[in-house]
Amino acid sequence: MQIRNIAIIAHVDHGKTTLVDKILHQTNVFRANQETGDLIMDNNDLERERGITILAKNVSVVYKDVKINVIDTPGHADFGGEVERVLKMADGVILLVDAFEGPMPQTRFVLQKALQLNLKPMVVINKVDKPNCRPDEVHDAVFDLFFSLDATEEQLDFPTFYGSGKNGWFNDSNVQCEDITPLMDGILKYVPEPKIPEGNLQMQITSLDYSTFLGRIAVGKVTRGMVKENQPISLMQVDGTVKKARVKELYIFESLGKKRVTEVYAGDICAVVGLEDFNIGDTIADAENPEALPVISVDEPTMNMTFSINNSPFFGKDGKFVTSRHLRDRLNKELEKNLALRVQDSDNADSFVVYGRGILHLGVLIETMRREGYELTVGQPQVIVKMIDGKRSEPYENLVVDVPQEFASKVIDLVTRRKGEMHIMETKGDMQHLEFEIPSRGLIGLRTQMLTATAGEAVMAHRFNEYKPWKGPIPGRNNGVLIAKEAGTTTGYSLDKLQDRGFFFVDPGEEVYKGMIIGENSKPGDLVVNANEGKKLTNMRASGSDAATNIAPKTLMTLEECMEYIQHDECIEVTPNFIRMRKVYLDEEDRKKYSKMMKIEEA
């Protein structure tokens, strides 16, 4: 059977997973009466809740007697490590672009990787049914993007399809048709068959799967030769060591699942069971004459955070895994499949420095651990600083903001205060398109402020650009916080009396402890407050009836918002049921000593 291997790449929210849904329906993967729902490929809870793809996934369909392996990739810059490695399995890419937004920063990032691997591109302009869409302008912008990325003549001659994934049609002209048949025919026509060089077995492990019955499973494309069940092989590791092993079981991808087979030929994507101690990037090669494939290189992390055990007064009340050994084992397990992550031991035996691609990348890891029953404390995210040519340098990012015109000045003001420089300003319909270059530090906490300033209308995206000289101090949070004075249960009476001091992150009746952050001060500077005081009751009725307490509901903050909110002397306590912000030093005297030390160091 002929094979086509294709990856779908795009920016966040441009419709990759919806397109995969349509391909599955078009090729009759499901029975006529089967309930499928939508976003079929986003199968873990976090992906469905956030509406984003986090892990790359494989699915295979048969169309006109040709097997098409489709790889759905994440669109978020923080999961670029996932995209870089799975593109190695593909021979062609579908670049999906929104007909209104056009190419975005992440589009550029993933397309660059695909062109470097010499993959054959097809462009799909999605959402042409949206108001304000401009498919022709977007097509020109995509061509300019290809040109600026030094695409070859052959790559510049890409076929373009227009359509709407939501309404289930794609055509090679901007004329509505019945379904996605033109696109499926285009895949067979334009995506080349896998090129198979002569020689012995070679297969690079580009992805991991895990099964409670079979253990760790290696996934990759057989580049040349063939692999059989029970065959002795050499596992060539990234560090140069070669281990002898045997293939216990072999699976190929069929529809949404896997099918056990006895042999797989070059060009197909398969899953190998029975290997131990393998990592992503290792090569499965011939037992007698092993030859390794080039190692997968992944861009370096740009941000780090300190993960430590939960040492708050509520330690161990909520979680199942609470010790530093649990934490170390879990982080090491994550390293096996999360290529863009790094973990280092710190000076303290109970804490680890974890390096990642950005706030979302680290936030998803923390959220996953929390749901698995871990308790931990995480510190403020810090950018990674390097010395380049004797100068202190920090990562810079390209920031793109699309915002209604009336809010453009507010966005420019916010970004320039954080040391951003505007490079492009143009009008797209009734939206203003702004592009900046900004230090990565300036992005921490920017999203929340920007959404507040633009009434939630701003759409922002960013991607790492390069390291440049340090830009000087960047102003942090303007307001201080309200800190609990002592442990206890908050009362409506106290919170009502404190409302003029700011707004709260707790409701009446919640357990708090000394040093916990329970609200934001309406002024600069931190304030210690007593939120646990009850009303003094007497046996005499007050002359006027009690004023009813009108307490504003607490402000709910997501994990990422907390990560962007905290300052260097604060941290987040994360447990399966609670996310609490607190001061690193719970005692007020300790905090004063710490701030004095910091002032002396800065001086």
* Known binding-site residue numbers for GTP: 13-18, 126-129
Q: Answer for the pair 156, 140: CB distance below 8 angstroms, yes or no.
A: no
Burial class (CB in 10 A: 0-12, 13-18, 19+), 178: exposed
Check residue 301 and report its DSSP letter: P
Query: Beta partners for 519?
Result: 482, 504
Q: In what order do the strands lie in the sheet with 527-529?
A: 502-504, 517-521, 481-484, 527-529
Cα distance between the two ends of the chain: 72
Tokens for 246, please give them.
């045997």
- Half-sphere exposure at residue 565, Cβ-oriented, CA atoms within 13 angstroms: 23
With a CB cutoff of 8 Å and minimum separation 6, the contacts of 240 are: none
d(CA 91, CA 161): 19
With a CB cutoff of 8 Å and minimum separation 6, the contacts of 231 are: 246, 247, 287
d(CA 549, CA 500): 13
d(CA 566, CA 576): 20
d(CA 124, CA 126): 6
Cβ neighbours, 10 Å, residue 213: 5
Question: What is the distance, to the nearest Å, from the Cα of residue 53 to the centroid of all Cα atoms in its chain?
Answer: 8
Binding-site residues, please? 13-18, 126-129
Tokens for 449, please give them.
């402020």
d(CA 243, CA 558): 45
Handedness of CA 92, 85, 262, 225 (dihedral sign): positive
- DSSP string of 143-165? HHHHHHTT--HHHHS--EEEEET
Query: Beta partners for 43?
Result: none
d(CA 505, CA 581): 9
d(CA 461, CA 477): 21
Element holding 19 (H helix, E strand): helix 16-26
Q: How many residues does the chain have?
A: 603
Check residue 374 and report its DSSP letter: B
Relative to beta strand 386-388, strand 391-404 is antiparallel
Say which amino acid occupies 330: R
Region of 51 on the Ramachandran plot (φ > 0 left; ψ -120 to 50 alpha; else beta): left
Tokens for 82, please give them.
């996932």
